[in-house]
Amino acid sequence: MKVNRRMVLCSDYLNGIARNVEAFIKDGCLEIEGQDLGAGVLGGDEEYEYFYSFNDTETKKFAKILIGNPLNLDSFLVAFAGCFSGSHWYFKFIEFCEENELHYSFFSC
């Protein structure tokens, strides 16, 4: 199933940092893209981009845990955004992945 929508997880301005994070399904896999902008960004730069990617197997596992149906990726994306949105989305997301042994790739620049 191809899901075209992007769900906003976080779009805020906190402690001098503008933060925008979105989740979407690409080729059946969960993807998360984030960008932090501002003088207080990690590492002293004014821009920090980060990406989380789940393969097909881990996306289905995540969907099964979250909604009980690993094949309905559209419903999964909506439920994912409902569970992991807001200024502190990251902490909830990481804790959930660790507790459920969900594996992902991470890249930042």
Does residue 14 fall inside a structural domain? yes
Sheet bearing 105-108, strands edge to edge: 6-14, 17-26, 29-37, 47-53, 105-108
**Which residue range(s) make up the domain with 80?**
6-108
pLDDT by residue for the chain (109 residues), tens only, comes to 455 689 999 999 988 899 999 999 999 999 999 999 998 786 667 899 999 999 999 999 999 999 999 889 999 999 999 999 998 999 999 999 999 999 999 999 9
Domain annotation covers residue 1? no
What's the number of domains the chain is made of?
A: 1
Is 70 a member of any domain?
yes
Number of residues written out for the chain: 109
